[in-house]
Structure 1
Amino acid sequence: MNDTSHDRTEQQLREALGALACNVHATPDAYRLARGDWLRRERRRRLVLTVLITVVFALAILIGLWVLNQNPSGPGVVFDRTHGQLGPGLDGKAAFDLIGPL
């Protein structure tokens, strides 16, 4: 492809696009309408994100409170009287060796 055919093609494209552009007429308030539409979508996106974050946070708090409110199914390990005051595996001699005389 030589340089003259490239220039000719570019000129033809420029003329065709120029003819199409002459037929396009924007309304005087097109920018205002487009900007208003964009701002409306931006506000809606932020509102949806805020609601979603609030719902997830509230759900996490409710699940945490529900888990903390559940009663244990068995006796607690720390204050289990069957194993002594210090917990399982520590009898009197082991406690004396570990802590010393009280």
Structure 2
Amino acid sequence: MSSDNAGATGPASAPVQTEERLREAMAALAGHVHPAPDAYRTARGEWRRRERRRRLVLGALIAVVFALATLAGLWVLNSAPATSPGVFDGERMPAPSAPPGG
């Protein structure tokens, strides 16, 4: 608080008085609030349950996406016509042994 508003009763001191009154009211209200004896343990248990559930849901989602990607890949590989050659059934070219002129 600044000393400029000390003892002032004009409109400029109204926000300061309101702030002080609110601060006192909140302090009085907070003085009467007492947490339950096992509040921390209860809140921690709820947080751990939510965290465990979040991890299980994420793991299940990853498993489903992986399974769908695998099934889609197998379906694409098996949907090739039976008359087409396999992936490695082409003419083999010998690998170059050394660069030319070297």
Q: TM-score, normalised by structure 2?
A: 0.64
- How well do the aligned residues superpose, as a CA RMSD in angstroms? 2.3
> C-alpha displacement at 1:23, in angstroms?
2.5
Per the alignment, in what secondary structure is the counterpart of residue 66 of structure 1? Answer: helix
Alignment partner of 1:39 out of 25, 30, 48: 48
Structure 2 unaligned segments of length 5 or more: list them.
1-10, 92-102
Aligned length: 77
Per the alignment, in what secondary structure is the counterpart of residue 24 of structure 1? Answer: coil
Identity %: 60
* Runs of 4+ residues over 6 Å off in structure 1: none
Q: What is the one-letter code of the residue matched to 1:11?
A: E
> C-alpha displacement at 1:77, in angstroms?
7.7
1:76 aligns with 2:89: no
Q: What is the one-letter code of the residue matched to 1:67?
A: V
Please give the alpha-carbon distance, in whole angstroms, between the structure 2 residues aligned to 1:44 and 1:56. Answer: 18
Q: TM-score, normalised by structure 1?
A: 0.64
1:65 aligns with 2:67: no
Per the alignment, in what secondary structure is the counterpart of residue 19 of structure 1? Answer: helix
Please give the alpha-carbon distance, in whole angstroms, between the structure 1 residues aligned to 2:54 and 2:44. Answer: 15
> C-alpha displacement at 1:19, in angstroms?
2.3
Please give the alpha-carbon distance, in whole angstroms, between the structure 1 residues aligned to 2:85 and 2:66. Answer: 32
> C-alpha displacement at 1:48, in angstroms?
0.4
1:53 aligns with 2:59: no
Structure 1 unaligned segments of length 5 or more: list them.
79-85, 87-102
